[in-house]
Amino acid sequence: MNAQDKMAISIRNAAKQFGNFIALDNVSLDIAPNEFFTLLGPSGCGKTTLLRMIAGFETATQGEIFLYDEEIEKLPANRRSVNTVFQQYALFPHMTVAENVAFGMRMLKVPKDEITKRTSEALSMVQLAEFSHRRPSQLSGGQQQRVALARALAPKPKVLLLDEPLSALDLKLRQSMRAELKRIQRQTGITFVFVTHDQEEALTMSDRIAVMSAGKVQQVGTAKDIYERPNNIFVANFIGETNLIEVKIESIVKSVANCRMFDGSLIACTADAIAANIKTGKISVRPERLKLATKSSKGIKGVVTQSIYLGTDTQHIVRLGNQTELTIRSQNGDGPDANYEIGQEISVVIDPGVARLLTE
Amino acid sequence: MAAHFNLNANSSKPSQTIAKDQAYQLLPAVLLICLFVVLPLCLIAIFSFLKPGTYGGVEWVFSAGSYVQFLFEQDFLTENLVFSANYLSIFFNSFVLAITATVLCLIIGFPTAYFIATRPERTRNIWLFAITVPYWVNLLIRTVAMLFIIRDQGPINSILIATGLISEPIRFAYTNFAIGLGLFYSYLPFMVLPIYAAIERLDFSLVEAAHDLYATRRSTLWNIIIPVVKPGIIAGCLLVFIPSLGSFIAPDILGGGKNLMIGNLIALQFQGSRNWPFGAAVAVILLTLVLSILLFFAMRSAKEARK
Amino acid sequence: MKSLDIKKYPGFRAITLFCLFILYGPMLVIAVYSFNSLRSITSWGGFTFAWYLKAFNNPTIQVAALNSLFIAVVAALLSTMIAVSAALALARGKTFKGQSALFALINLPLMIPEIVTAVSSLVFFIAIGFNLGLLTILIAHVVFCIPFAYLPISARLQGIKGHFEEAAQDLYATRWQAFRFILAPMLMPGIISGLMLSFIVSLDDFIITNMVAGPGTTTLPIAIYGMVRVGFTPEINAISTVLLLTSLVFVTVSYFLSRNAPKNAKTKPLQH
């Protein structure tokens, strides 16, 4: 089957400039059919610009966008088989819920009975069938959200774009909507391109994630990829929490680097994400991968400056000899030694293969 | 006004030049206003430097005579130019009347605006609406109604005579008093609205703080409320003063054509005495005055906004 | 007893009522006398519609009323269309260089003393060889009604927050369809408000109309002005009252339309 190489969306060297501001810097991405793909990044990273470019609301300064191999960059928004769920929903206030959902099909000149049929289908998919005659203003935020989703799905677009659709909802609602979105995506088999700044949202919902920053794609991969094998310091910092320790690189052999720490000790770390000729870098270790041990044990020496009980975990902050502070999180109930006093001198143990060598 | 204009950018950064479709959308309005407002104003400015035609109209000969005529008149015997305050006094009279109307409007308008702004939200809009409506009602008819009431045979004089308080009607109509009253009555809503807007935005915890610090109502009004809402007061005064200065209807109807204001002086040159260049010159002077007053206050408020 | 409410100032209510009395008193007096069967000011001879009938049967007033109505309707329609178009570009489109200058230009007719606009229009029409009459009145009215129509429309547009046109275009609507089906219905209260305000501004205008009307063309304000010059008649009261009521009705409708604007223009989630 050649659907394998036919990408739902293919972006080639897209760039966008607003005056002197570079919103997108030479971005290339492939999004596979039926994929739940997330653009994740802090505000101003270019993710919304990229989404609006796919939708047709922004023109690219350069580059091409393909929708199932069809060049769509020059097409106006209304001629792209792509629908958007807007951040503030943009439901038409003078139309009922059903009229809102039917609007896209009406514009596509779908026959009347089919519009009716597909409208009620779309509304029952989002569990709002009984609200079809209400006005958007008579619905709660979560309900409006689902109308926006039904409206965008009803014309059966090839790709659905979602622009931070959950950000206006409160926490509880947001969590249940995540599951609902995921269910609908599987049920309809439509490719979702989801924009968010919320890493938890991205990690829980996406098949693949593109982490963006400063107009560039920093890394593309599954949730596990980007959490466990971040490409650079930005990704390591942005996804979850991490500890960074400066090191000198002694040698790199087959993606394993031998690095010297500030206290003179050597550590082996994975180095698949850096260039060969680099002399210094930082090693990144997640807080839950670090271990604390008594002063006499082998490891980096430090002093506990904070100990916070967090329920399932206890978090310790340890200051090392070079003033670097490390965060170490250990599960409670593992053993009697989970608690260290403030001011206590201890050793921090980095197990082999846990540390990852990164550069900016 | 332009400074408060809310630019509704559609989420993208301001694009530098006007988009093609926006230009087309603006074209009719811009074209009409340029053609039928800006161009005529230019024409008036040109006409003010021409010689009057014998039977009205203009002769296409350059002359600053109209502006000279504004300040001087030719002595009949010696043909020398002698300073004449005739027209200046009309300007002076207009300023006095406009200032009187502005002060009256402020005295009545400020307490009204304050009262309305401190009403509960539900009734506030009704009060405000009641103040606004007269603005939209035909100014000519409102002025005629005023004349109807204050004329010699009008209800006020009739009642006063009938009650025996006076035997002869008091002459209200066709006096400067009548014009001032008319201006006050015409533009009162203009004073109330901006002051109202300013007071409505006033943070009343300031008033509470002043009282807490032993201020009386009077000293709170003078030291706290009035300074804070000053921009609204200035706006209100401008909105009354400027149309009053160039007013035509009130002096024409209530002044009976005897007590001239600038507006009547201009109109006369295009109707009765037919000296277009002179009328044009007076119009240019009035326009310059008005625009410089507006510009002065616009720059002042811009300066204060920067602080 | 002095009120303890520190917001209250004694006497302010009285002044407000006095203010309303001044504003409405003369209009009320005119309206009342228009129904007095006696010509007398001091005595009430009973209620009558006679002056209205007399006014309506006056051929000068009939012609003037028709002229006024025709001009006001056409001027309101044209100026509102122009204002909608301009407001879409200025209040809804992307920001651009010179935007505030264009905004000022559109509001220019409001800033110039009316008498100056009046004489400059007169001079201009004569200079380009237009015959003064209905057409010149109409042109002048269309132009100075633009800012009055523009205000409620742009206010309404600014109240419409959200990417509605984009949403429509995203759902396969062309630019025209997005306006026709989405923005125009949402904008309608503003448009109607603009129509009404420009209608009464046109209907009421005297100064400019009087200048550019030329001999023989009358509108209601010109007719009233002419009649007042001769002397007060109850007929004037009657026709004035009709005009007063027209303005009142139109302003009230327009007010209620614009007051309800923000409520249905928003579709923000309830949590906000």
Per-residue pLDDT band at A157 (split at 50, 70, 90): very high
CB B180 within 8 A of CB B247: no
Subunits with 3+ C-beta pairs closer than 8 A to B: A, C
A243, A244, B41 from A295: Cα distances, Å? 20, 22, 90
C194-216 mean pLDDT? 89
Is the Cα dihedral A171, A174, A176, A179 positive or negative? negative
Q: Which residues contact B262 (CB under 8 A, 6 or more apart)?
A: B90, B91, B94, B245, B246, B282, B286, C115
**Considering the domain boundaries, does residue C41 fall inside one?**
no
Per-residue pLDDT band at C270 (split at 50, 70, 90): very low
- What distance in Å separates the CA atoms of residue A6 and residue A30, rounded to the nearest whole number? 10
**Considering the domain boundaries, does residue C39 fall inside one?**
no
Tell me, what's the pLDDT at B3?
33
Beta-bridge partner residues of B82: B73
Tell me phi and psi for residue A38, to 5 degrees: -115, 135
CB A34 within 8 A of CB A48: no
If contacts are CB pairs under 8 Å, which of residues 212-271 in chain C contact chain B?
221, 224-225, 228, 232, 236-237, 240, 243-244, 247-248, 250-252, 255, 259
Specify the DSSP class assigned to residue C1. Answer: -
Instruction: Name the residue in chain C with its Cα closest to that of A109.
Output: C172
Tell me, what's the pLDDT at B210?
79
CB C208 within 8 A of CB C117: yes
Per-residue pLDDT band at B39 (split at 50, 70, 90): very high
Instruction: Name the residue in chain B with its Cα closest to that of C114.
Output: B246
Interface of A with B (CB under 8 A): 18-19, 21, 48, 52, 58
CB A49 within 8 A of CB B10: no
Residue to test with chain A: of C172, C188, C264, C270, most A Cβ within 10 A: C172
**SS3 per-residue string spanning B169-198:** CCCCCCCHHHHHHHHHHHHHHHHHHHHHHH
Q: Which of A76-85, A332-341, B290-299 has the lowest mean pLDDT?
A: A332-341
Tell me, what's the pLDDT at C40?
67
CB C195 within 8 A of CB C76: yes
One of 3.20.20.140, 3.40.50.300, 3.10.129.10, 3.60.15.30 is the CATH number of A3-228, namely 3.40.50.300
If contacts are CB pairs under 8 Å, which of residues 214-253 in chain B contact chain C?
217, 220-221, 242-243, 245-246, 248-249, 253
- What distance in Å separates the CA atoms of residue C78 and residue A97, rounded to the nearest whole number? 35
Beta-bridge partner residues of A220: A210
pLDDT digits (tens, 9 = 90+) for C50-105: 888 888 888 888 999 999 999 999 999 999 999 999 999 888 877 788 888 888 89
Tell me, what's the pLDDT at A336?
58
Chain B residue numbers touching C213 (CB-CB < 8 A): none
Closest approach of chain A CAs to the CA of B23, in angstroms?
19
Closest approach of chain C CAs to the CA of B168, in angstroms?
15
Domain that includes residue C179, residue range: 49-264
Q: Give the number of other CB atoms < 10 A from CB of residue A143.
A: 20
- What distance in Å separates the CA atoms of residue C37 and residue C11, rounded to the nearest whole number? 39
Q: Where are the domains of chain A?
A: 3-228, 241-358
Q: Cβ–Cβ of A18/B16 closer than 8 Å?
A: no
pLDDT digits (tens, 9 = 90+) for B189-216: 989 988 998 888 888 778 878 777 877 7
- What distance in Å separates the CA atoms of residue A84 and residue B187, rounded to the nearest whole number? 51
Chain B residue numbers touching A19 (CB-CB < 8 A): 13, 16
Q: Which of C162, C172, C264 sits opposite A107 (nearest CB)?
A: C172
Q: Which residues contact C103 (CB under 8 A, 6 or more apart)?
A: B2, B5, C90
CA atoms within 13 A on the CB side of A31: 31
Tell me, what's the pLDDT at B106?
94
Q: Which of A83, A151, A168 sits opposite C272 (nearest CB)?
A: A168
Tell me, what's the pLDDT at A337?
55
Closest approach of chain C CAs to the CA of B85, in angstroms?
23
Instruction: Name the residue in chain C with its Cα closest to that of A161.
Output: C170
Per-residue pLDDT band at A5 (split at 50, 70, 90): low
First-to-last CA distance in chain B? Answer: 19
Tell me, what's the pLDDT at B276?
87
Task: Report the candidate in C161, B61, C261, C178 with the shortest Cα–Cα distance to residue A77.
Answer: C178
Q: Cβ–Cβ of B267/C94 closer than 8 Å?
A: no
Give the whole-number percent of chain B exceeding pLDDT 70: 93
Task: Report the candidate in B146, B134, B143, B141 with the shortest Cα–Cα distance to residue C242.
Answer: B141
Tell me, what's the pLDDT at C87?
92
Identify the three-state secondary structure at position A22: strand
C267 pLDDT more than 50: no
Q: Structurally, how many domains does chain C consist of? A: 1
Tell me, what's the pLDDT at A281?
85
Instruction: Name the residue in chain B with its Cα closest to that of C17.
Output: B112
If contacts are CB pairs under 8 Å, which of residues 56-75 in chain C contact chain B?
none
B5 pLDDT more than 60: no
**Considering the domain boundaries, does residue C63 fall inside one?**
yes
Tell me, what's the pLDDT at C47?
82
Please tell me the total number of residues recorded for chain A in this structure: 360
Tell me, what's the pLDDT at B70?
81
Subunits with 3+ C-beta pairs closer than 8 A to C: A, B
Tell me, what's the pLDDT at B59?
79
Phi-psi region of B157 (alpha: psi -120 to 50; beta: other; left: phi over 0): alpha
Q: Which residues contact B132 (CB under 8 A, 6 or more apart)?
A: B189, B193, C251, C255
pLDDT digits (tens, 9 = 90+) for C34-48: 888 877 666 677 788
C263 pLDDT more than 50: no
- What distance in Å separates the CA atoms of residue B232 and residue C16, rounded to the nearest whole number? 18
Tell me, what's the pLDDT at B44?
92
A315, B119, B166, C158 from C167: Cα distances, Å? 47, 41, 74, 17
Specify the DSSP class assigned to residue A270. Answer: E
Residue C196 tokens read as 């009404």
Instruction: Name the residue in chain C with its Cα closest to that of A103.
Output: C171
CB A222 within 8 A of CB A251: no
Q: Cβ–Cβ of C12/B162 closer than 8 Å?
A: no
pLDDT digits (tens, 9 = 90+) for A220-260: 999 998 998 888 889 998 988 899 888 888 888 778 888 88
Q: Which residue has the higher pLDDT, B37 or C36?
A: B37
- C184 shares contact with chain B (CB less than 8 Å): no
Q: Cβ–Cβ of C168/A103 closer than 8 Å?
A: yes
B124, B196, B226, C26 from B208: Cα distances, Å? 21, 19, 15, 40
Mean pLDDT of chain B: 83
B71, B181, B235, B265 from B94: Cα distances, Å? 16, 13, 20, 11
pLDDT digits (tens, 9 = 90+) for B161-173: 888 888 888 888 8
Q: Which of C161, C173, C268 sits opposite A78 (nearest CB)?
A: C173
CA torsion, ordered A212, A215, A217, A222, to nearest 10 deg = 20
- Max mean pLDDT among A29-33, A260-264, B64-68, C233-237 falls in A29-33
**Considering the domain boundaries, does residue C95 fall inside one?**
yes
B110 pLDDT more than 70: yes
CB B146 within 8 A of CB C27: no
Tell me, what's the pLDDT at C2?
52
Residue bearing tokens 């609902």: A180
Tell me, what's the pLDDT at C3?
59
| A82-85: strand order across its sheet | A82-85, A159-163, A191-196, A36-40, A208-213, A216-221
Q: Where are the domains of chain B?
A: 2-83, 86-274
Give the whole-number percent of chain B exceeding pLDDT 90: 24
Tell me, what's the pLDDT at A113?
94
Q: Which of A21, A48, A52 sits opposite B13 (nearest CB)?
A: A21
CB A249 within 8 A of CB A357: yes
Q: Which of A19, A48, A52 sits opposite B13 (nearest CB)?
A: A19
Residue B188 tokens read as 């009162």
B226 pLDDT more than 90: no
Per CATH, the homologous superfamily of domain B86-274 is MetI-like (1.10.3720.10)
Identify the three-state secondary structure at position C44: coil
Reported pTM: 0.79
Closest approach of chain A CAs to the CA of B13, in angstroms?
6
Q: Which of B37, B140, B211 sits opposite C6 (nearest CB)?
A: B211
Residue B149 tokens read as 């009431």
One of 2.40.50.140, 2.60.40.1120, 3.40.50.12160, 3.40.50.300 is the CATH number of A241-358, namely 2.40.50.140
- What distance in Å separates the CA atoms of residue B186 and residue B249, rounded to the nearest whole number? 10
Tell me, what's the pLDDT at B157?
84
- What distance in Å separates the CA atoms of residue B108 and residue B106, rounded to the nearest whole number? 5
A133-159 mean pLDDT? 91
CA max distance for chain A: 80
Q: Cβ–Cβ of C12/B114 closer than 8 Å?
A: yes
C232-238 mean pLDDT? 86
Helix axes C220-230, C59-87, angle to 10 degrees: 140
CATH number for the domain that contains residue C123: 1.10.3720.10
Per-residue pLDDT band at C250 (split at 50, 70, 90): confident
Mean pLDDT of chain C: 85
pLDDT digits (tens, 9 = 90+) for B51-98: 887 776 777 888 887 888 888 877 667 777 777 778 888 899 999 999
Mean pLDDT of chain A: 87
Per-residue pLDDT band at C266 (split at 50, 70, 90): very low
Interface A-B: count of C-beta contacts within 8 A: 9
Chain B residue numbers touching C124 (CB-CB < 8 A): 36, 39-40, 43
A292, A310, A320, A329, C154 from A337: Cα distances, Å? 9, 16, 20, 13, 69
Residue bearing tokens 């410089």: B292
Chain C residue numbers touching B158 (CB-CB < 8 A): 41-42
Closest approach of chain A CAs to the CA of C39, in angstroms?
54
